[in-house]
Amino acid sequence: MTARKSVKARERLCRIVGVITTSSELRLAARMSHPPDLFELRLDHLVAIANKLESKISRLRVPIVITARHPAEGGANNLSAQRRRELLSRFLPQARYLDVELRSLPAFQTLLETARQQGVGRIISFHYFASTPSPRSLHAKAHAAKLHGASIFKVATRTDTPAQLVRLLNFASSQDVCLPLSIMGIGKFGAISRLALARSGSVLTYASLGQKRLEGQLSVEQLRAAFNIFDLG
């Protein structure tokens, strides 16, 4: 069994992550009788209510991913690296996973090491909304993520053409990436990509709780129903 196949054997089920970006979504998440596998707190969106989050997080009944996205990769409120580090450090003790973009690694090395020492998983991510990079570029980014101690490498790229979708599918099924992957498309083929990539070994896929912020994104309910049909959950 190759290293990549052994990764797939360990992570054969794709978990659903519900994305929380607003106070209303946070309230909805706390009330859900059947929540997703994890919730992601988009701290860049929630920065205005950061002082109220501690008590609200305790009402969530599944583990959380924390991220404060870089403005160049869809982050809200144009937060500086220092402000993003402050937010992530503050909520790190309550997190199952910390998500930091590949481009942010130079400024977040200490935080990532703290996460490792505290037993918090490290998702190193790459979001590109214009296209899907070449296979060579994707493999280079995965290699860099692995070298920096990623538990999971997350990729979200534009899939408006069949060729872009195939590029992601080939990357997901590559035997050369010895690291769990979370991969999804954005755009015309975004919805189908989340199902196809789950079948190809993606270990996490993200879904909306309220308003869809990305073309091709599915709601938690839609994604769960699709996973049940295709026996992916």
Q: What is the pLDDT along the chain (233 residues), one digit of tens a residue?
A: 344 444 443 344 799 999 999 999 999 999 999 999 999 999 999 999 999 998 899 999 999 999 999 999 999 999 999 999 999 999 999 999 999 999 999 999 999 999 999 999 999 999 999 999 999 999 999 999 999 999 999 999 999 999 999 999 999 988 788 899 999 999 999 999 999 999 999 999 999 997 788 889 999 999 999 998 877 65
What pTM, to 2 d.p., does this model score? 0.92
Q: Exposure of 196 by Cβ count < 10 A (0-12 exposed, 13-18 middle, 19+ buried)? A: buried
Tokens in use for 16?
Answer: 């659903």
Q: What local confidence, expressed as pLDDT, does residue 6 receive?
A: 40
For the stretch 53-56, contacts whose Cβ atoms lie closer than 8 Å and that sit 24 or more positions apart, written own/partner, are 53/26, 53/91, 54/91, 54/94, 56/26, 56/30
Distance CA 233, CA 226 (A): 9
Show the domains of the chain with their CATH numbers. Answer: 3-229 (3.20.20.70)
